[in-house]
Amino acid sequence: MTDQDVVEAAVARIAQAQATRVPCAPVRDLIGTDDLPAAYAVQQGLVRARLAGGVSVVGRKIGATSEAVQRQLGVDQPDFGYLLSDMDVSDGAAGGGPISMRTLVQPRVEAEVAFVLGRDIDPPDGAEITLEVVRDAVEVALPALEIVDSRIADWDIEFTDTVADNASSGLFVVGRDGRGLDDLVPRDVTMSLTINGEERSSGTGAACLGDPLEALRWLAVQAQRFGDPLRAGHLILSGALGPFVPFAPGDRVSASISGFEPLTVEFEE
Tens digit of each residue's pLDDT (9 = 90 or more) over 202-214: 999 999 999 999 9
Q: Per-residue confidence of the chain (269 residues) as pLDDT tens digits? A: 668 999 999 999 999 999 999 999 999 999 999 899 999 999 999 999 999 999 999 999 998 776 767 677 676 778 999 999 999 999 877 677 899 999 999 999 999 999 999 999 999 877 899 999 999 999 999 999 999 999 999 999 999 999 999 999 999 999 988 999 999 999 999 999 999 999 999 999 999 999 999 999 999 999 999 899 999 999 999 999 999 999 999 999 999 999 999 999 999 98
pLDDT of residue 77: 77
The reported pTM is: 0.94
- Per-residue buried b or exposed e for 133-172, using 16+ beta carbons within 10 Å of the residue's own CB: bbeebbebbbbbbbbbbbbbeebebbbbbbbbbbbbbbbb
How many angstroms separate the CA atoms of 203 and 22, rounded? 32
Contact predicate 65/215, CB 8 Å: yes
Fold classification of 56-266 is Fumarylacetoacetate hydrolase; domain 2 (3.90.850)
pLDDT of residue 1: 63
pLDDT of residue 224: 93
248 Cβ contact list (under 8 Å, min separation 6): 267
Question: Domain residue spans in the chain?
Answer: 56-266
pLDDT of residue 96: 73
